[in-house]
Structure 1
Amino acid sequence: MASRLVEQLGGQNAAGASATSLAEQIRALILDGRLTVGERLPSERALALELRRSRSTTTRVYGLLEGDGYVVRRHGGSTRVALPHTAHRLSDPDDDEAIDLSIASMDSTPGLYDATVRSLPRLAALRGTSGYSLRGLPELRDAVAARFTDRGVETDPDEIIITSGAVNAFNLILATIGRRGERALVEQPTFPHALEALHRYGYRMLPTPVDVTGWDERHVTDTLLRSRPHLAYLIPDFHNPTGATMSDAERSRIATTARSTGTHVVVDETTAELDIDRGWAPLPMSAHSPQVITVGSMSKIAWGGLRIGWIRADRALIARLISTRPSFELGTALLEQCIAVELLQDMPALTAHVASRLRAGRAAVAAGLGALGGLTMPPTSGGLSTWLDLGAPVSTELSLAARRHGLIVPPGPRFTTGGVLERRLRVPITLSPERTTDAMERLGRAWTHVMSGGATVDEQAPRAAVI
């Protein structure tokens, strides 16, 4: 069985790579958080066997990483991930000078303040209660259910549970129905934190390809029929990161196939309301099968700081979710729920604001790419980002170069299982035009550096001087 390091590297990236290139790839895994500080890495001998490389090559790889402070080695003992004292200065997202493109999210809607003020009497009326809310406020469940009904799938408030965001919702689902050692069908690429959650609950991944042009439906259905996975995690609307949207016919056939194989389909609708100019509105996937479990969130349409999400499922599963929830939390904060009630009462204003902001961000990204030369923005009708084809497997190299220009942008493999998609890069369209213009200028400098074959910072200066 491959070590986690080799799984993250991907055999394609490791094959034939020099020791310096392998060290760069592992450094990128550490900076991205795909390898965690303190994590034990394979021994030099074990890594050489896994990669089918010489022992001297793996010794050189670990030596380079140790010299830069990215691993700590004990003679005759273990090799563990570390961070050099200067690493945070290259990549700290809290650095005012850095622009962080690892988080594709907008600032708050202009209506958030007024909604907060309007929510206070509702909150005051709850002071006589315990304050714990396992299922969620009735008014908020009514509003979420009504939104599903408006979109074409009749929904009762009893089929809704309110959570502390979408990631929290997915973890609650896994805590309730998860089975360690089972298979999970996942899109390739997909939302990284969903992959992390599935790994944590012991699932084995079955990737199915998605691109800007959409899904390979036959691959999805064949994988379902052949492997009969316990769970499938899908993002059918403005897929993160490709921006693709699944057709109604594809949703129906995939949902039907999953029902026949007994697969739990978890649909992430966090991006479903991020329409700019798609020109059509598909039915929610839950309209095609009552067994579909849907996760949603306020984070992209209102504000990431408003930790409100929800799960739509049949009543039997809702009851199981409520029974499981107290094992790790006692409900969702009441103030956020009261604010969400107010915001959801004016969805047209919310979605109009989102479309306007995303349209401006998309234009700024397109202009920035046009100034670079060699990169073309694919059609992007909504969603969080554009999924660039770099034309060469240089995504990790570009990501590392960008950090040295004060830009944090995760490489394509960050969104995959197995370290593939080195030709791809996700660029958010969620920042303000001014911030986006600055980000694209920094990306341009990094792109020029990579395309010119420029030396890395490590080669240009003594290691002690790297900041």
Structure 2
Amino acid sequence: MSGLNRHISATQLARLVRIDPGTRPYYQALASSVRSLILDGGLAVRVRLPAERHLAAELGVSRTTVTSAYDRLREEGYLASRQGAGSWTELPDSGALGVDNPWVAAESGGLLPMHCAAPAAGAALAAAVEAAAAELPRYALGIGYEPTGLPALRELVAARYTERGAATRPEQILITPGAQQAMNLITLQLMAPGDALVVESPTYPHILDLARLRAARIVPVGIPPDGWHLDLLTSAMRQSAARLAYLMPDFQNPTGRLMGDEKRAELVAAARACGTTLVIDESWAETAVDDVPATRATAAFDTDGRVISIGSASKLWWGGLRIGWIRTTAAMVRRLAVLRAGVDIASPVLEQLVVARLFQDIDAGRAERRRALAASRAALTAALAAELPSWTYTMPHGGGVVWARLPGPTATPLAEAAASRGVRLAPGPWFGVDGTLEAYVRMPYTQSPQVVTEAVRRVAAAFHGGPGPVRRSFEAVTPAL
């Protein structure tokens, strides 16, 4: 019974299921809605559900109706119960779902890379490299190790945070070899085995890898279609006594959602009340595609060093530069700089000089990336409408991916079928825990319009007429409603 210290209230669950009171039979609709929440990651596995009488009162139905829904979920393997312990969410075993381990991805050359949301370099890169190379000899007079990063780049990153509403000094910035290394250092410094880490569901796969490496307890919180529910995040932080929460308010990967300033302020206040440190990944923050209201950096609402921000040059300029950064307190920067001595010592000087050059004309870089992403997003969505009209999604206003929902939980077998057609896909379970999110795939629009159009054509061929496992899997796991 360990790990069942989380629960969801009747009020919270009633708001998530959203069933028309006139639906008949109501118990089947309730069971189906809860099942979908579990599979989509909106309701975590091993969370206690409210007592039947409490949920019935909240929904305005009879207790017998809720009992029948719970019984249905138990029969299907989505609910487990024990006398005196209540009922909690579960998943059927992977064999029953007809899927293989979703975390094992075999490397294969020659496939269209739709599993990776990484854009090509912008036009300004060549000139920035040339200018940085001309500047490098001056730095070669020193030893080349700057554990906190080159002062010139730290100043530019700090200035950008100040522009985004979070007054920042250069000594609050640590330059790292990419955002991934930033996450590694933060979790190494602040996370001990057994600590709880709150994450969104879906979330960035590599933070899950790091959490497992640190032997942390992963506490997923679903993101409903209307965005973050702060009461659910707060409940998760409080109930798990989480020391850290990793969130992506800026064009969240993979949903593409953008958190407004009011919710950011509430989020920071909630973390403060729960004693939780927020690790805010802003890797996509500079990639708005549409005209959206300007948002402040989440750190702008921080008053006690509770927000640690992560940024990267990868999405705006190019991933091959391998330059990222951490914004935190000056004291934490010093501790992280000491810690990294046993990890990577310092970031490469030439790449830092290149990024510093690119920062000096960040508006041009943003405009160029916006044009490219807009063209590829238009191509992707047009191809999806023409080739895969049964797939649904919410149009992202920025970032680089579409989080597409399939008609059934067949993402993993679809990815296998797509590989046989020359496309590597990222199925939903990569972005969740406990085997959830099988009804989703992430479709990036960071490649050229030609590439994404061809990729969708091949994926559609796999989906409609490809190898049999896709269709058979769908038939096997679709509930008989």
Q: Give TM-score, length-normalised by structure 2.
A: 0.77
Assess, with a 3 A threshold, how the Cα gap between structure 1 residues 172 and 453 changes in structure 2: closer, same or farther: closer
Aligned partners of 2:182 and 2:326 also within 8 Å: yes
Aligned equivalent of 2:444: 428
Of the structure 1 ranges 160-169 and 119-128, higher mean CA displacement relative to structure 2 is found in 119-128
Partner amino acid for 1:153?
A
Matched, 1:130 2:207: no
Aligned partners of 2:308 and 2:328 also within 8 Å: yes
Assess, with a 3 A threshold, how the Cα gap between structure 1 residues 127 and 377 changes in structure 2: closer, same or farther: same
Corresponding residue SS for 1:352:
helix
Matched, 1:340 2:355: yes
Aligned equivalent of 2:219: 206
Matched, 1:25 2:41: no
Partners of 1:18 and 1:139 in 2: CA distance? 55
Partners of 1:118 and 1:385 in 2: CA distance? 32
Aligned equivalent of 1:15: 92
State the Cα distance separating 1:250 from its structure 2 match. Answer: 1.2
Aligned equivalent of 1:419: 435
Assess, with a 3 A threshold, how the Cα gap between structure 1 residues 417 and 429 changes in structure 2: closer, same or farther: same
Matched, 1:296 2:371: no
Aligned partners of 1:307 and 1:336 also within 8 Å: yes
Partners of 1:265 and 1:386 in 2: CA distance? 25
Assess, with a 3 A threshold, how the Cα gap between structure 1 residues 227 and 376 changes in structure 2: closer, same or farther: closer
1:264 pairs with one of 277, 281, 288: 277
Of the structure 1 ranges 101-110 and 117-126, higher mean CA displacement relative to structure 2 is found in 117-126
Aligned partners of 2:189 and 2:339 also within 8 Å: yes
Aligned equivalent of 2:327: 312
- Once the two structures are superposed, the pairs formed by residues 446-465 of structure 1 within 5 Å of their partners are 446-449=462-465
State the Cα distance separating 1:442 from its structure 2 match. Answer: 0.7
Corresponding residue SS for 1:279:
coil
Deviations 1:172-209, CA, capped at 9 Å, x for gaps: 11121221111010000000001101111111011111
Partner amino acid for 1:204?
R
Partners of 1:16 and 1:341 in 2: CA distance? 50
Partners of 2:151 and 2:260 in 1: CA distance? 33
Aligned equivalent of 1:174: 187
Partners of 1:140 and 1:412 in 2: CA distance? 36
Partner amino acid for 2:271?
A
Aligned equivalent of 1:405: 421
Partners of 2:466 and 2:216 in 1: CA distance? 37
Corresponding residue SS for 1:305:
helix
1:354 pairs with one of 361, 365, 369: 369
State the Cα distance separating 1:371 from its structure 2 match. Answer: 1.2
Matched, 1:322 2:337: yes
Stretches of structure 2 that go unaligned for 5 or more consecutive residues are 3-40, 46-76, 79-89, 473-481
Aligned partners of 1:369 and 1:377 also within 8 Å: no
Matched, 1:148 2:223: no
Partner amino acid for 2:206?
H
Aligned equivalent of 1:160: 173
Corresponding residue SS for 2:115:
coil
Aligned partners of 1:213 and 1:244 also within 8 Å: no
State the Cα distance separating 1:121 from its structure 2 match. Answer: 2.6
Runs of 4+ in structure 1 off by over 3 angstroms are: 10-14, 16-19, 450-456
Corresponding residue SS for 2:100:
helix
Aligned partners of 2:276 and 2:306 also within 8 Å: no
State the Cα distance separating 1:432 from its structure 2 match. Answer: 0.2
Aligned equivalent of 2:402: 386
Partners of 1:223 and 1:17 in 2: CA distance? 26
State the Cα distance separating 1:122 from its structure 2 match. Answer: 2.0
Aligned equivalent of 1:226: 239
State the Cα distance separating 1:283 from its structure 2 match. Answer: 0.8
Deviations 1:276-301, CA, capped at 9 Å, x for gaps: 11421111110111320000000000
Corresponding residue SS for 2:223:
strand
Aligned partners of 1:266 and 1:293 also within 8 Å: yes
Paired positions, count? 386
Aligned partners of 1:102 and 1:408 also within 8 Å: yes
Matched, 1:242 2:255: yes
Partner amino acid for 1:439?
A
Percent identity, aligned pairs only, is 35
Assess, with a 3 A threshold, how the Cα gap between structure 1 residues 450 and 251 changes in structure 2: closer, same or farther: farther
Aligned partners of 1:211 and 1:242 also within 8 Å: no
Partners of 2:450 and 2:140 in 1: CA distance? 43
Deviations 1:97-152, CA, capped at 9 Å, x for gaps: x1011110110010000001111232110111001120100000000001101111
Partners of 1:124 and 1:189 in 2: CA distance? 45
2:297 pairs with one of 284, 287, 293: 284
Assess, with a 3 A threshold, how the Cα gap between structure 1 residues 401 and 211 changes in structure 2: closer, same or farther: farther
- Once the two structures are superposed, the pairs formed by residues 77-156 of structure 1 within 5 Å of their partners are 92=108, 94-95=109-110, 98-156=111-169
Corresponding residue SS for 1:214:
coil
Aligned partners of 1:270 and 1:300 also within 8 Å: yes
Aligned equivalent of 1:462: none
Corresponding residue SS for 2:123:
coil
Aligned equivalent of 1:331: 346
